[in-house]
């Protein structure tokens, strides 16, 4: 690897007999994407998600600045031994950040797929969300939500659980979970609470997760 580490890959094949769990609406969780906390579930729980990239940003910037001063940092310039040595240090920091993030995501996805039989999520275009116009590109790339969804999907399949994807255009954040009225003003991400004339009031992310849960159960034919 670029950071000087080595890996051994072993490929093997095995037969897996997974028995699907009984489908019911009793043991369900729904997750809404949250840039500063990975997700918010329908019960109002949000994991303590470390911002691994930002936590190592100062150390990484210092290492990259050092790298830029080495012979070989400019185009068409021969890479010196000192440059390659410093480059390895930079890559090690990147690898450390990635390892921290992967460990956290694996633990979160393991806990959810072991605990719940049905997991409902919203399909999202993570590249579009990380676009500069949303002003949260670094946070989006730092929390690894896309990778988290992939982990949830294959782990749920391996355990005979149900992983339900609600279409990206479903207005989960704009819909009042109590009466179903659409609130276009909730397109504004700065609005953190939804208030409806029916008297319903909730955190926008919890409301979205509740709607994702309802739609997921409908897709499964349980609602």
Q: What is the rounded distance in angstroms from the CA atom of residue 28 to the CA atom of residue 95?
A: 35
CB 210 within 8 A of CB 192: no
Give the model's pLDDT for residue 60. 93
Q: Single out the residue of 111, 105, 189, 118 nearest to residue 157, CA to CA.
A: 118
Structural domain contains residue 8: no
Structural domain contains residue 208: yes
Give the model's pLDDT for residue 127. 67
pTM value is: 0.85
Integer CA distances (angstroms), 165 to 96, 107, 135, 217, 220, in order = 31, 21, 26, 10, 10
Residues 6+ apart with CB under 8 A from 62: none
Structural domain contains residue 118: yes
Task: Count structural domains, the chain.
Answer: 1
Structural domain contains residue 22: no
Structural domain contains residue 65: yes
Q: What is the rounded distance in angstroms from the CA atom of residue 92 to the CA atom of residue 120?
A: 36
Give per-residue pLDDT as tens, 78-133: 999 999 999 999 999 999 999 999 999 999 999 999 999 999 999 987 666 655 54
DSSP 88: H
Structural domain contains residue 39: yes
- Per-residue confidence of the chain (223 residues) as pLDDT tens digits? 776 778 888 998 888 889 999 999 999 999 999 988 899 999 999 998 777 877 888 999 999 999 999 998 888 889 999 999 999 999 999 999 999 999 999 999 999 999 999 999 999 876 666 555 455 555 555 678 999 999 999 999 999 999 999 999 999 999 999 999 999 999 999 999 999 999 999 999 999 999 999 999 999 999 8
Structural domain contains residue 13: no
* Structural domain range at position 47: 28-219
Longest dimension (CA), the chain: 69
Structural domain contains residue 9: no
């Amino acid at each position: 690897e670029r950071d000087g580490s080595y890996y051994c890959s072993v490929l093997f094949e095995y037969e897996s007999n997974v028995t699907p769990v009984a489908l019911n609406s009793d043991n369900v969780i729904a997750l809404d994407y949250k840039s500063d906390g990975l997700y918010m579930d329908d019960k109002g729980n949000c994991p303590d998600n470390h911002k691994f990239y930002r936590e190592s940003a100062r150390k990484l910037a210092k290492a990259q600045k050092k790298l830029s001063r080495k012979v070989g940092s400019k185009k068409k310039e021969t890479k010196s031994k000192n440059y390659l040595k410093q480059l390895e240090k930079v890559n090690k920091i990147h690898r450390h950040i990635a390892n921290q993030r992967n460990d956290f995501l694996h633990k979160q996805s393991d806990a959810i797929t072991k605990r719940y039989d049905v997991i409902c999520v919203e399909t999202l275009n993570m590249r579009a969300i990380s676009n500069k116009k949303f002003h949260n590109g670094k946070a989006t790339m730092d929390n690894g939500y896309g990778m988290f969804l992939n982990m949830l999907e294959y782990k749920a399949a391996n355990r005979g659980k149900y992983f339900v994807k609600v279409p990206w255009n479903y207005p989960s954040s704009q819909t009042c979970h109590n009466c179903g009225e659409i609130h276009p003003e909730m397109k504004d991400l700065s609005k953190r609470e939804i208030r409806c004339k029916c008297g319903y009031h909730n955190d926008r992310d919890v409301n979205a997760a509740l709607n994702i849960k309802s739609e997921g159960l409908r897709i499964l034919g349980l609602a």
